[in-house]
Amino acid sequence: MIEQLEAIRERFNEVAQQIVQPEVSADPKRFMKLSKEYKELDKMVQQYMAYRQTLTEIENAREVIATEKDEEFRDMAKLELDELVPRRDEQESVLKEMLMPKDPNDSRNIILEVRGGTGGDEAAIFAGDIFRMYQRFFEKMGWKMTLVDFTEGSSGGYKEIVVEVEGEDVYGKMKFESGVHRVQRVPATETQGRIHTSAASVAVLPEAEEVDVEINMNDIRKDTFCSSGAGGQSVNTTYSAVRLTHIPTGLVVQCQDERSQLKNFDKALTVLRSRLYEIKLKAHNDAIASQRKTMVGSGDRSDKIRTYNYPQSRVTDHRIGLTVYNLPAVMEGDITQFIEQLRIAENAERLKEGATI
């Protein structure tokens, strides 16, 4: 492990030198790539340096215990060693996790799609609540969200809403949110006070780049129409909205958020590319899943992953058996506990898998 960490430290120093070179500053793509690598390596190098410091302190404490004649000094060194050994073990555990091969998609931006499922008007209202939960979470993370397309429910919420989310490690944090989210509560539309169960489906797509998916523009049919959303007279009276149909797969994507038809086309193409990439990614993941069954699931949008029970203020993630009783806070975007526990479960599986190879 030390050899790996030393190689990472050397690479970090190389990147630090390259990033300040004038030719790199003049090349925005290369500068961004190196800046991203620098940021990722910096975390690991800092953790490694702290670990090395702990190893040095352990060595010094053991030397005092072995050579010091003063009993009081030896006792102090023993107490120090009792604190240092657990710290070293914890730092080793963190470094091992950091050294595990990452999902190459973790650092990507995402396309988030939330749709009302079974349950009629209440499902659309709940889809709106789920979207608002994510919106609050994105704000806390400092991520940028851009609306792509939406269809409002007749009693509020959304039948469907699609957004693009940009930031650091967005897919890595959000990928486990794909699936069916179920709600149990008395709907606003219910007159008898009965508890209903309805659902919303969430899809988190890693945003694909042109190199990931090659699209033949001859395979795309483009239609334009007047936007139906808010945005002023020019949005609603010009043919600025764009609908793209990918003929080979039958996938349909539309965007009506921008005033410019060209901008809507670019956004719709990004979503289409990401959906095609999802199909490619799912085939890859299914091949892996046929060899092993993961606790956290496949990330398939049809998996039932979480239940929100309003009468009991309870939220349960069925993949890891985690239940919390703070539903109002969760609906305000406090979902970090779920995200972290799911990542821990995935890493534990990968560590176990690595140990059995």
More confident residue, 114 or 5: 114
Q: Any bridge partners for residue 241, and if so which?
A: 225
Phi, psi of 133 (to 5 degrees): -60, -45
pLDDT for position 237: 55
Secondary structure class of 353 (helix, strand, coil): helix
Mean pLDDT on 73-91: 92
Task: Out of 38-47, 136-145, 238-247, 297-306, pick the least confident.
Answer: 297-306
Please, are residues 205 and 277 in contact by the beta-carbon 8 Å criterion?
yes
- pTM of the predicted model, to two decimals? 0.65
239 pLDDT tier (thresholds 50, 70, 90):
confident
Tokens 């609906």, residue located: 331
Q: Is the predicted pLDDT of residue 283 greater than 80, yes or no?
A: no
Q: Which long-range contacts (CB under 8 A, 24 or more apart) does 2-7 make?
A: 4/99, 5/44, 5/48, 5/51, 5/95, 5/99
Mean pLDDT on 79-88: 93
Distances (CA, A) of 5 to 46, 99, 176, 278: 11, 8, 29, 33
> How many residues can be counted in the chain?
357
Instruction: Of 124-133, 147-156, 199-208, give the range with the top mean pLDDT.
Output: 124-133
235 pLDDT tier (thresholds 50, 70, 90):
very low
Element (H, E) at 48: helix 28-67
d(CA 52, CA 99): 16
- Kindly report, residue by residue over 100-113, the tens digit of the pLDDT: 767 778 888 999 99
pLDDT for position 293: 45
Phi, psi of 2 (to 5 degrees): -60, -40
Name which of 113, 112, 119 is nearest 182 in CA terms: 119
Mean pLDDT on 218-223: 89
Q: Is the predicted pLDDT of residue 85 greater than 80, yes or no?
A: yes
d(CA 326, CA 332): 10
The one-letter amino acid code at 221 reads R
Q: Is the predicted pLDDT of residue 322 greater than 90, yes or no?
A: yes
pLDDT for position 352: 63
